[in-house]
Amino acid sequence: ERLRATLLHEMCHAAAWLLDGVHTPPHGKNFKKWATIAMKKIKNVSVTTRHDYEIAYKFAWACTNEECGAVIKRQSRSVQVEKHCCASCKGKLIEIEVPTRGQSTKAGLTPKVKRDPSGFSLFVKENSRSVRQQM
């Protein structure tokens, strides 16, 4: 059920972008138009702009300012601590282990341990440029 709703939601984004040429705002009137059309065609699936299921984040960063304690979670390693700072207080960020749901930021977060890259990661890094150039 959740997969069907998510797929239909993403198809509404695609329709707004490909058929209407509109991609901002992401859940604006064009998206809602396609959501209405989709829900008329597929009666038992609801297209919404919010969900209530837990997201399994892969990466997290914490603000080092003890008074702030903000935590940023992402699906990709998109935060660069050398370039980015805390949006709340402009403090320094450090990468941490992803906290469990409901874990207090004041309870002490675990800094991420740097690991050596796997053999596969090294292979991809060494070969991806030449493969992309051949495409």
pLDDT tens figures, 41-50: 999 999 999 9
pLDDT tens figures, 26-35: 999 999 999 9
Lowest mean pLDDT across 10-14, 53-57, 87-91: 53-57
Q: What is the mean pLDDT of the chain?
A: 91
Q: Are 111 and 81 in contact (CB under 8 A)?
A: no
Q: Domain segments of the chain: what residues?
A: 2-41, 54-113
Burial 65-91 (b: 16+ CB within 10 A, else e): beebbebbeeeeeebeeeeeebeeeeb
The pLDDT value recorded for residue 53 is 83
pLDDT over 60 (residue 13): yes
Strand partners of residue 95: 61
Q: Are 45 and 3 in contact (CB under 8 A)?
A: no
